[in-house]
Amino acid sequence: MTQFSVTGFGPASIGNLAVGFDILGLSLSGIYDEVTLTKRTDREIKISNIKGVTQNLPKEAHKNTCGAALLAFQDKLNLNYGFDIAINKGIPLASGMGGSAASAVATVIAANHFLSQPLEKNELLEFALAGEQVASGSAHLDNVAPSLLGGLCLCLKNNKVIKIPTSSELNVVIFHPHIQVETKVARSILKDSISLNQYIEQSQYLAGFISACYEGDFNLIAKSLKDVVIEPQRSKLIPHFYQYQQEVLKVDGVLGCSISGAGPTMFALTNSDKSSLAVKQTFEQVAKLLNQSGKCWKLKINDQGAYTNEVH
Amino acid sequence: MTQFSVTGFGPASIGNLAVGFDILGLSLSGIYDEVTLTKRTDREIKISNIKGVTQNLPKEAHKNTCGAALLAFQDKLNLNYGFDIAINKGIPLASGMGGSAASAVATVIAANHFLSQPLEKNELLEFALAGEQVASGSAHLDNVAPSLLGGLCLCLKNNKVIKIPTSSELNVVIFHPHIQVETKVARSILKDSISLNQYIEQSQYLAGFISACYEGDFNLIAKSLKDVVIEPQRSKLIPHFYQYQQEVLKVDGVLGCSISGAGPTMFALTNSDKSSLAVKQTFEQVAKLLNQSGKCWKLKINDQGAYTNEVH
């Protein structure tokens, strides 16, 4: 049996996207985790190497996001072989950029290439979710779906995912302050209930945003990209969040600014590359002023989702 | 000065539409309130006649939905003349079919014809809201907007309304059991808060429904047209609600069944005229079985909204 390797790439993503707690996620270009699988003749799943921006990940396969995804894949498909897993993390740990989902997605998209009859991308969701669950304590689609499928994903019940159209002029900036927020902690601080008035207001933003995406209406996106439910709670975990947000929202062409996933990464959507540049400078200026370290990226939406080196 | 009359027609509407509490409303064809305004040389606003399915309405202009709308209109536009108002109610009172909004809308659409420079329909919203406020204690757009503008209206902040596209194949059935539910009472029984899990689930239904309308995806409408927030609370005001709903949801081609506005009227959306006929028969059969009296209508969506006899 020929031994061979496949490398999968799982893009970072913005979970929640301000208006859609637990149900919306946006795939990002240019930041990703990379997972290389090498086929083994035995059935073992082994983490052989971890490098990149984060290296202190669990080495035991069933505790590791990639390993757990692959164990679920191997089990369901009755594979009589195993893999060595080499992980190259491009996404910082506990940053709110969907890193664990991206690792799981990179793993399953690579694993799929070893099948004589590869599965549809949609069919890979459940295995990536199994991996994501190991990292964040519960399986949420809002990072896994955009990382795997690309674009703006609306995550419904029973793992049903709808791709919401986005304008090619929509631009993204993310700023990652160099602190870590564990998803489990970010989840535990949330109140169990919200007021009826908050619910109504947030419903307006959500429905307005979905409509605006279909209509390509940037003015309505700007009026809708707000979070009165989760942001007020989670912003407490991000030092100076409102100072960043306030300055970013002053930039011409910015359509909204909030917390990416569970934080601490912040994101902004803009109407142009020019506006994104100004937003990036603003994040960096505020960080400098506050003497905070962090990293800022000017990005596009990734419409394609996960891919492998075999396709390109 | 020539004395003349204009008759306005304000269609009934389904507020909330299961997924969009306080923010969605659907305009209905074939059921409407009719308001005839006759110009007076003095500035008085006088209810001259009330007939139709409901007649016990306030006779004092400022307490009457039509009168209050007209007073706001007269005041804002500095009219130096008044009106006699003749109301012909086609929509039962306190039925959850948007009757007070329809009366206010019929009034303002008629009044607009007396202006030398008529306002845009959108500009009439505030006057209709002033009328609606008298009836229901607070001004809500989700009946006023669809009655005035037609179609499926998404009601956002600052009286901004987005018309969400609907398939011409979408059909509507409404069943009005012969009991009254006052909007104020239906509002007062609602809890002040909802759980975070209810919020997430209902957000999936709302976003899924908006997406489904744009995509023309009836399967997704059927999966989305659900209410886990308000229906469980308000169904208590509607005897045997779940028995009706359960039977209606069994009908082939039905896309959902819930409470219209504050109730007691129930509505169902269907994928065809044929399915609507079966749903109507089901409502009537259950009513007969329960020995309840009520009235059922098989309807289309009214895309046009309010109109006057001057246009036709």
pLDDT value at B13 more than 70: yes
Domain contains B235 = yes
- A174 forms beta bridges with A267, A297
Across the interface, whether the CB atoms of B207 and A206 are under 8 A apart is answered: yes
Residues of B with Cβ-Cβ distance to A22 under 8 angstroms: 200, 203
What value does the mean pLDDT take over residues A53-76?
93
What value does the mean pLDDT take over residues A240-263?
97
The reply to whether A11 and A108 lie within a common domain is yes
The reply to whether B79 and B224 lie within a common domain is no
Could you confirm whether B60 is annotated as catalytic? Answer: no
The reply to whether B160 and B245 lie within a common domain is no
The reply to whether B98 and B69 lie within a common domain is yes
Predicted pLDDT of residue B2: 46
The structure tokens 């896994």 sit at A144
Predicted pLDDT of residue B56: 85
Domain contains A310 = no
The structure tokens 């302050």 sit at A177
Domain contains A82 = yes
Run of H or E residues at B194: strand B193-195
Tens of pLDDT, residues A25-51 = 999 999 999 999 999 999 999 999 999
The reply to whether A126 and A181 lie within a common domain is no
- Determine how many CB atoms are found less than 10 A away from the CB of residue A163: 17
The reply to whether B261 and B119 lie within a common domain is no
Q: Is the ipTM of this complex over 0.85?
A: yes
What is the percentage of chain A residues whose pLDDT exceeds 70?
A: 98
Distance of alpha carbon B18 from the chain centroid = 13
Domain of A273: which CATH number? 3.30.70.890
Domain contains A304 = no
The reply to whether B16 and B40 lie within a common domain is yes
The reply to whether A151 and A237 lie within a common domain is no
Please name the residue ranges forming H helices in A52-164: 65-76, 99-111, 125-136, 141-149
Residues of A with Cβ-Cβ distance to B20 under 8 angstroms: 203, 207
CA B289 → CA A49, B243, B249, B283, B293, distances in Å?
70, 11, 17, 10, 10
Domain count, chain B: 2
State the smallest CA–CA distance between residue A221 and chain B in angstroms.
12
Interatomic CA distance for residues A53 and A226, integer angstroms: 31
Give me the residue from B21, B190, B195 closest to A193, CB to CB.
B195
pLDDT value at B33 more than 90: yes
Interatomic CA distance for residues A81 and A72, integer angstroms: 13
Residues of A with Cβ-Cβ distance to B23 under 8 angstroms: 200, 203-204, 207
Predicted pLDDT of residue B55: 79
Q: Rg of the Cα trace of chain A? A: 19
The reply to whether B205 and B88 lie within a common domain is no
The reply to whether B153 and B259 lie within a common domain is no
Using the 3D structure, point to which of B133, B164, B195 is the last residue of a domain. Answer: B164
The amino acid sitting at B269 is L
Could you confirm whether B126 is annotated as catalytic? Answer: no
Domain of B55: which CATH number? 3.30.230.10
State the smallest CA–CA distance between residue B192 and chain A in angstroms.
5
Q: pTM, whole model, 2 decimals?
A: 0.95
Using the 3D structure, point to which of B105, B134, B164 is the last residue of a domain. Answer: B164
Tens of pLDDT, residues B42-94 = 999 999 999 999 878 999 999 999 999 999 999 999 999 999 999 999 999 88
Domain containing B250: what range? 171-299
Using the 3D structure, point to which of A164, A190, A213 is the last residue of a domain. Answer: A164
Domain contains A112 = yes
Whether the Cβ atoms of residue A207 and residue B23 lie closer than 8 Å to each other:
yes
Taking a contact as any Cβ pair under 8 Å apart, which residues of chain B between 193 and 212 contact chain A?
193-196, 199-204, 206-208, 210-211
Interatomic CA distance for residues B285 and B54, integer angstroms: 26
Query: Per this entry, what is the length of chain B?
Result: 312
Residue B179: pLDDT band with limits 50, 70, 90: confident
Name the residue in chain A with its Cα closest to that of B205. A156
Domain contains B307 = no
pLDDT value at A140 more than 80: no
The reply to whether A160 and A177 lie within a common domain is no
State the smallest CA–CA distance between residue A48 and chain B in angstroms.
39
**Of A298 and A3, the one with more pLDDT:** A298
State the smallest CA–CA distance between residue A226 and chain B in angstroms.
12
What value does the mean pLDDT take over residues A14-34?
97
The reply to whether A264 and A295 lie within a common domain is yes
Interatomic CA distance for residues A34 and A87, integer angstroms: 6
- Determine how many CB atoms are found less than 10 A away from the CB of residue B277: 15
Tens of pLDDT, residues A262-272 = 999 999 999 99
Predicted pLDDT of residue B312: 43
For residue B11, cis peptide bond before it (omega within 30 degrees of 0): no
Residues of A with Cβ-Cβ distance to B208 under 8 angstroms: 154, 156, 162
Domain contains A311 = no
Domain contains B294 = yes
Interatomic CA distance for residues A26 and B178, integer angstroms: 48
Tens of pLDDT, residues B240-256 = 999 999 999 999 999 99
Q: Would you state the structure tokens that stand for residue B251, as one six-digit string?
A: 């009908």
